[in-house]
Amino acid sequence: MGYTLKDIASLSEVSVATVSRIINGQPGVKDSTRKKVLDITRELNYLPNAVAKSMKTKQTRTIGLVVADITNPSYADIAKTVEARARKNNYTVIICNTENKTSVQIKIIDSLRERRVDGFIFASVKLRDKPVRDLLETGIPCVFTGRHLEGYRGTFMGSDNRTGVHLVVKHLHRLGHRKIAFISGPREFSTGMERLRAYLDIAKELAIETPPHLIQDGGYDRTKTSRIVSGFLALPSPPTAIFAANDMMALQVLDSILNAGLRVPEDISIAGYDDIPVAAHHSIQLTTVDGHFSRLALLAIENLMSRLQGGLPSNKPARIVLEPHLRVRRTTGKPRQTAFLRRSEDVGILDPN
């Protein structure tokens, strides 16, 4: 099934070398020959075999995009941006989900290297990621977006987590909150680590107390987050605001709070981080920080493309850090003055009364 250069060559009565040149649009071929060959190519609906081509040229025009979980809207955004931009240069992208597990990440990297992808984009490295560091050593072009390796090794496109967290906490502080719980991400991720540190620093600066029981690791995980929220609510003196280190957790916080029969933001304020699309939905209106995922993804793929096309030297790593923006919406407000009552009845968010 499928014709080969050889078929085209014999039908056109020229050599495969000539056909190859014509297919690849190289100059230095007589017009009449070109036309004849092209006609036959079209007639046969010839599709070159990219596998054979890769064999010779040592490039597959394929890149690997490694994310934690494509069903997370942030990663879906990245995937879309990367794929669209790559296609422009006739590159194809293989998307793999690590589920944040090193064991599956190792398999993914091996599988992608066996397939000889031309480069990698990692959206979910851990700070100390041995497999990835080893990969970097091999010299194959890699770009990290969102999260970086320890010591910012390699090329990185991210946003300033420190500033982002400060914006949120200052916003809550300005509203009057003094008891702000923080649900952090895993410390093994640069985002988790940096956002936690930034929280502790700004809290200190603003003289906000940070007792250990108000700072919990939600692991970017929804069920874990849900348990943490229950813990907060069971406290003799619960927080007046909860800041979750990403929007997926913040949405879970919102859900849990509402399910507990409390009002947002009247009883508790909630803030997230990332600004995933659904955060802006009228029924959600989550206060959060724009992490510029799509823009970063575009920068990442642009960088990779230039390196692969030889426009950029691959050896000196680039680094771009974007300024985050605070998106104040409706889940944050003034803190309640008195203790709230747990209600049995569900009460909706955004009730203005």
Partner DNA sequence: CTGAAAGCGCTTACAG
Establish if 6 lies at the interface with DNA (CB under 7 A): yes
Which two tokens mark 27? Answer: 């100059």
The string of DSSP letters for 9-50 reads HHHHTS-HHHHHHHHTT-S-S-HHHHHHHHHHHHHTT----H
Least Cα distance to 245 among 228, 267, 265, 263 occurs for 228
Q: By CB under 8 A, what part of segment 137-196 binds a second copy?
A: 138-139
* Residue 6 contacts which entry, a second copy, DNA, none (Cβ below 5-8 A, type-dependent): DNA
Range 283-319 burial, b when 16+ CB lie within 10 A, else e = ebbbbbbbbbbebbbbbbbebbbbbbeeebebeeeee
Residues 6+ apart with CB under 8 A from 90: 61
Q: Where are the alpha helices (DSSP H) in the chain?
A: 5-12, 16-23, 31-43, 50-57, 73-88, 102-114, 130-137, 161-175, 190-205, 222-234, 247-259, 293-308
23 interface partner picked from a second copy, DNA, none, CB below 5 to 8 A per type: DNA
**Contact pick of 11, 16, 29, 94 for a second copy (by CB under 8 A):** 94
> CB-based contacts of 25: which residues, under 8 Å, 6+ apart?
none
Pick the stretch among 32-40, 80-88, 192-200, 303-311 that binds a second copy (CB under 8 A): 80-88
Q: Is 176 exposed, middle or buried (0-12, 13-18, 19+ CB in 10 A)?
A: middle
**Could you say whether residue 236 binds DNA (CB under 7 A)?**
no
Out of 277, 309, 334, 342, the only residue in the binding site for a second copy (CB under 8 A) is 277
> Judged by CB under 7 A, does residue 53 bind DNA?
yes
Of DNA, a second copy, none, which one sits near residue 258, judging by CB under 5 to 8 A according to partner kind? a second copy
C-alpha 180/C-alpha 174 separation (Å) is 12
Decide if residue 111 touches a second copy (CB under 8 A). Answer: yes
144, 320 Cβ separation under 8 angstroms: no
Kindly tell me which residue out of 76, 175, 320, 326 binds a second copy, with binding defined by CB under 8 A. 76
Crossing angle of helices 190-205 and 161-175, rounded to 10°:
40
- Selected from 18, 41, 62, 303, the binder of a second copy by CB under 8 A is 62
* Residue whose tokens read 């813990």: 231
Closest separation in Å from C-beta 38 to DNA: 12
Residue 42 engages DNA in binding (rule: CB under 7 A): no
281 part of the interface to a second copy, by CB under 8 A:
yes
Q: Does residue 210 belong to the site contacting DNA (CB under 7 A)?
A: no
What type of residue is 228? I
CB proximity list for 114: less than 8 A, separation 6 or greater: none
Segment 286 to 325, residues that bind a second copy, using CB under 8 A:
none
- Choose the stretch contacting a second copy; rule: CB under 8 A; options: 15-23, 100-108, 142-150, 152-160: 100-108
Binding partner of residue 18 among DNA, a second copy, none, CB under 5 to 8 Å per kind? Answer: DNA
**Contact partner at residue 351 from a second copy, DNA, none, CB < 5 to 8 Å by partner kind:** a second copy
89 CB-near residues (< 8 Å, 6+ apart): 61, 305, 309
- How many residues bind DNA (CB under 7 A)? The answer is 30
**Interaction between residue 92 and a second copy (CB under 8 A):** yes
In the complex, what is the shortest distance from the CB of residue 51 to DNA, in angstroms, rounded to a whole number?
7
Least Cα distance to 263 among 322, 334, 166 occurs for 334
| Positions in the binding site for DNA (CB under 7 A) | 2-6, 13-18, 20-21, 23-24, 27-34, 48-49, 52-53, 55-57
Residues that bind a second copy (CB under 8 A): 1, 47-52, 54-55, 60, 62, 69-71, 73, 76-77, 79-80, 83-84, 87, 90, 92-97, 104, 107-108, 110-116, 138-139, 251, 254-255, 258-259, 277-278, 281-284, 345-353
